[in-house]
Structure 1
Amino acid sequence: MKPLTPINLLHLSLTTLLTFLLLLILTTTTKPLLLSLLYCISLSLLLLRRRPLSVLLVDYSCYKPDFDRKCSTEACKYFISSSSRFSPESQTFMSDILAKSGIGDEVYAPPLVFQTDNTHAKLRSAFQEAEEGMFSAVDSLLDKTDMDTSMINVLIVACSVFAPSPSLSSLVVNKYKLNEDVKTYNLSGMGCSAAAVSVDLAAKILRNAREPKHALIVATENISLNWYFGDNRPMLVANCIFRVGAAAVLLSNDARRWRSKAKMELSLSLRTHRGADDAAHNAAVQMEDARGNIGVSLSKDLVRVAGEGLRVHMRALAPLVLPLSEVLRYACARARSALARDGGRRHVVVPDFMAGFEHACVHTGGKAVIAAIGRTMGLDEYVTEPARMALHRFGNTSSSLVFYQLAYFEAKRRVRAGDRLWMVAFGTGFKACSLVWTALRDSAPDTDNPWNDCVHRYPVKGW
């Protein structure tokens, strides 16, 4: 059953009205008229009763590692040079990437970087990284929501490149002793879109449930086993931009219990996938180099692929979120552009997507990717500020990145009740996922907000 959007509600109202008018024409006495009216009312109530349940964002928590896990640019360069696993040319290349990456000196690295034997990643290092991030975020979330783990009906854990057996979802079940009937899902290979995809999956489950349910989402990534030790340049880029992060999110369809406490309501989720295109499919790939070293290769074509993927995604999203006035304005602008060509070339026209939202959490893939999104959609620096500042403060935390941006909005107290917030994230494959939220109350930073000790320094000038 599809959500009851304004378009669906209008369709329902028109259908009921036309049905009533038709019956009115066919009836000439009072009794049949009353019966037809009763029929239309009953039909409307039946359709409304079948409306999917609301999906509420009860709360979320972002993992903030301890102070001693901070890895400045100089510390990262020292790790690279001291490992003796990179050629001088590769060290210079990574130093150049770090210098123009837009990443600051307070990002966090995995435990592997700070260990004595840090030239070979081991499974225990990956487990340590996963447990620290996931358990810290979940502990914080359960504590501030006063949530009993016995009430969790659905668990979704998303980690793209670390898929051990038993799964990470089983690790969470074991840690928190979840019920035997909990429905678990373990998502891998989804890249940076994994958290948004997890919310989309959880929303479909919750909306189609006929009783109150709670879904716990844990979004993380794992660098330890994918820190690349080789000289393949497309694979070296990942070493420079990905850093440690995780988020835990609690969703519920129990409006009676959570409506007064929840932060947001999910209005819409949309996914598009361009995996049929070879360039899109191969833009970001986990692979081995010629010497058998494993890492994630980010192709030079990634920015172009991201831009094209965003355009395809926006064509599907625009009719669902933009006001009619903006749709008409865009159509007129396209018509004028088609008629007034300059040298045989059409002027690029894009709709004002911020006409449908008050805030946006755009994909924090890297400095070039954020710039490409801004150009493609005509977004100003104020709109892309949370993405740029999240990259500076935490680096690319992969699947959890959109919630670090949401935390930035709350730390800045920018969201007001009724505001619409758009999250969009890209993933390997190449896929895109959008989430549209409606704020249920004014935002304010929680005690565990990861920006609490530094938000006064942001936005950083010159970024």
Structure 2
Amino acid sequence: MKQLTYIQLFQISFLVFLSFTLLLHTILSYTPTTHLLNHLRRLLHSHIRFSLSCALCALLSLLYYRYTRPHPILLLNYACYKPDPRRKCTFQLSEHFVCRSARFTQKSVDFMRNIYFKSGLGEETYAPSFIFQDDQDTATLKCAVQEAQEGMFSAVDSVLSKTQIDPGRIDYVIVTCGSFSPSPSLSSLIVNRYKLKPDVKTYNLSGMGCSSGVISIDMAANVLRSSTKVQYALVIITESISLNWYFGDNRSMLVTNCIFRVGCAAAIITNDPSRRRFAKMELVHSLRTHHGSDDRAYRAAFQEEDDKGNTGVSLTKDLIRVAGVNLSEHIKILAPRVLPLSQLVYFVYSVMVSVLTRGESKPVVPDFTTAFEHFVVHTGGKAVIEQVGRVLRLGDELTEPARMSLHRFGNTSSSLVFYELAYFECKRRVKRGDRVWMIAFGTGFKVGSLVWRSLRDSCHEGDNPWNDSIHRYPLKVC
């Protein structure tokens, strides 16, 4: 039997009450009049008028609430791009490309080899097409556009198929790609490919680093919340490696060659409450914090030219410290929104003790396992995962999806949080009602959080990127 909502129960109760009141009014209208009955009838008539006034006010309040309350923000479904197996980037292939290009000193080659072996990446990550072409060692604009098209078209085709949403119903297109912004824009590419309606609103996010996947979902949610109409947003999360390969000898820039790989994700977000029974998750909270006012945080990951004019992204030694410090600041804001009362009291008490002892006693980190069943931590690298685990006091079991995603797909930048979510689902770990914390870091320096509530148990899906390898995971990664 279908369970009634509180609003439906109120409506039924109101109708019963109204029917009973009208029945009393009818009976009293035909009752023989005596002094006692006249007095009783006057009292009941007063009661009826008062009750009808209260009922009318309640009904108007209910209608006002129903038509002005924010619509729920629902994740209908998502899809992750899985490149062709011929694009797998093994260590042997990577070393062959580096040596073939003859752009690096032997010290740089040895450094990259050492970083690769310590990175936590496996032998099945994916690289862009130019690395596999023997007749060229650098990418062209055509290669970059091809990389974008392959990832975006595959992910969008898949998510549209799974949600059965007609492209003509899409009201917003949000594309995030940190370091590739061609003209026409990537969102225009999507509009052209899927023949979207003329009044579709498009947004392109760039330069926001690995946090932009979380940020783009937050943006879609804010746009949909501000609308009084039922609408749909298509969010595409990608990154370009082709034009961002570094060919110099600056060690802080060489790291990106070792850990970044090809990946893309797409999601359909809606505020349509009638779609709730078809949706995967509901967005409960979102939070973005920006720490760029601090110079070290601002320059922790920075695109610049080396002394020979080669462009690259420098990952400084401050990056891990910055991630830990700013994560601590971020959770101070998030904690009151998500933690149970017992943990909040404990946290506030520890802060008071820290103030009274002038910093000799440090505030405790709340136990976030009391607020969430699953943690989706952006896998910026092995050291970043370990730092997040230390700050949040998460054991290896809770950081497992992050470490395994880094091993299987490498750092696909902003889309990797959805590859992690796909890991949970392929393992059938997400149950209805479970709370999922998705957190990511980006240049600037930014931290973003999404808190989801699962609306159904995870089930097998034919396009899950983990389908052919999940039986091998988890594995021990040195």
1: CA distance between counterparts of 2:444 and 2:63? 43
Q: 2:107 aligns with which of 89, 100, 108?
A: 89
Partner of 1:332: 349
Report whether the alignment pairs 1:79 with 2:94: no
Q: Extract unaligned runs of 5+ from structure 1.
A: 1-28
Structure 1 position 339, deviation (Å): 6.8
Report whether the alignment pairs 1:244 with 2:259: no
1: CA distance between counterparts of 2:136 and 2:242? 10
Alignment of 1:223-234 (within 5 A): 223-234=241-252
Q: One-letter code of the match for 2:312? A: G
User: For the structure 1 residues 337 and 277, does the alpha-carbon distance in structure 2 shift closer, same or farther, using more than 3 Å as the test?
Assistant: closer
Q: One-letter code of the match for 1:132? A: E
Q: 1:161 aligns with which of 154, 165, 179?
A: 179
1: CA distance between counterparts of 2:387 and 2:440? 14
What secondary structure sits across from 2:284 in the alignment? Answer: strand
Structure 1 position 338, deviation (Å): 6.3
RMSD: 2.0
Partner of 2:398: 383
Partner of 2:365: 350
Alignment of 1:352-431 (within 5 A): 352-431=367-446
User: For the structure 1 residues 118 and 346, does the alpha-carbon distance in structure 2 shift closer, same or farther, using more than 3 Å as the test?
Assistant: farther
Q: One-letter code of the match for 1:168? A: L
Q: Extract unaligned runs of 5+ from structure 2.
A: 1-46
What secondary structure sits across from 1:456 in the alignment? Answer: helix
2: CA distance between counterparts of 1:338 and 1:183? 49
Q: 2:143 aligns with which of 117, 120, 125?
A: 125
Report whether the alignment pairs 1:446 with 2:461: yes
Is contact 2:301-2:314 (8 Å) kept? yes
Partner of 2:475: 460
Q: One-letter code of the match for 2:233? A: A
Q: 2:125 aligns with which of 101, 107, 112?
A: 107
Compute the TM-score of the two structures, normalised by the length of structure 1: 0.89
Report whether the alignment pairs 1:319 with 2:336: yes
Structure 1 position 119, deviation (Å): 2.3
State the Cα deviation string for residues 95-143 of structure 1 (Å, max 9, x = none).
Answer: 1100100011100011111112332221111111111111111111112
Compute the TM-score of the two structures, normalised by the length of structure 2: 0.87
1: CA distance between counterparts of 2:465 and 2:285? 27
Partner of 2:75: 57
1: CA distance between counterparts of 2:120 and 2:165? 38
Higher mean C-alpha deviation, range 286-295 or range 106-115: 286-295
What secondary structure sits across from 1:361 in the alignment? Answer: strand
Structure 1 position 216, deviation (Å): 0.5
2: CA distance between counterparts of 1:186 and 1:335? 44
Once the two structures are aligned, what percentage of the paired residues are identical? 57
Partner of 1:211: 229
State the Cα deviation string for residues 383-406 of structure 1 (Å, max 9, x = none).
Answer: 111111100100000010110010
Is contact 1:85-1:119 (8 Å) kept? no
Q: One-letter code of the match for 1:142? A: L
Structure 1 position 408, deviation (Å): 0.3
Q: One-letter code of the match for 1:147? A: I
Alignment of 1:28-39 (within 5 A): 35=53, 39=57
Partner of 1:201: 219
Partner of 2:271: 253
Higher mean C-alpha deviation, range 186-195 or range 138-147: 138-147
1: CA distance between counterparts of 2:324 and 2:92? 32
Is contact 2:75-2:283 (8 Å) kept? yes
Partner of 1:310: 327
2: CA distance between counterparts of 1:353 and 1:118? 49
Partner of 1:23: none
Q: One-letter code of the match for 2:255? A: V
User: For the structure 1 residues 117 and 152, does the alpha-carbon distance in structure 2 shift closer, same or farther, using more than 3 Å as the test?
Assistant: same
1: CA distance between counterparts of 2:460 and 2:212? 24
State the Cα deviation string for residues 23-75 of structure 1 (Å, max 9, x = none).
Answer: xxxxxx99679757854664465245321111111111100001110011222
Structure 1 position 345, deviation (Å): 3.8
Partner of 2:29: none
What secondary structure sits across from 2:278 in the alignment? Answer: coil
State the Cα deviation string for residues 276-319 of structure 1 (Å, max 9, x = none).
Answer: 11111111111111111111111111001111111111011000
Alignment of 1:280-295 (within 5 A): 280-295=297-312
Residues paired across the two proteins, number: 433
User: For the structure 1 residues 144 and 38, does the alpha-carbon distance in structure 2 shift closer, same or farther, using more than 3 Å as the test?
Assistant: closer
Q: 2:283 aligns with which of 266, 286, 308?
A: 266
Structure 1 position 83, deviation (Å): 1.1
2: CA distance between counterparts of 1:408 and 1:175? 29
Higher mean C-alpha deviation, range 70-79 or range 359-368: 70-79
Structure 1 position 335, deviation (Å): 4.8
State the Cα deviation string for residues 397-445 of structure 1 (Å, max 9, x = none).
Answer: 0010110010000000000001111101111100111111110100013
Higher mean C-alpha deviation, range 212-221 or range 285-294: 285-294
Is contact 1:102-1:391 (8 Å) kept? yes
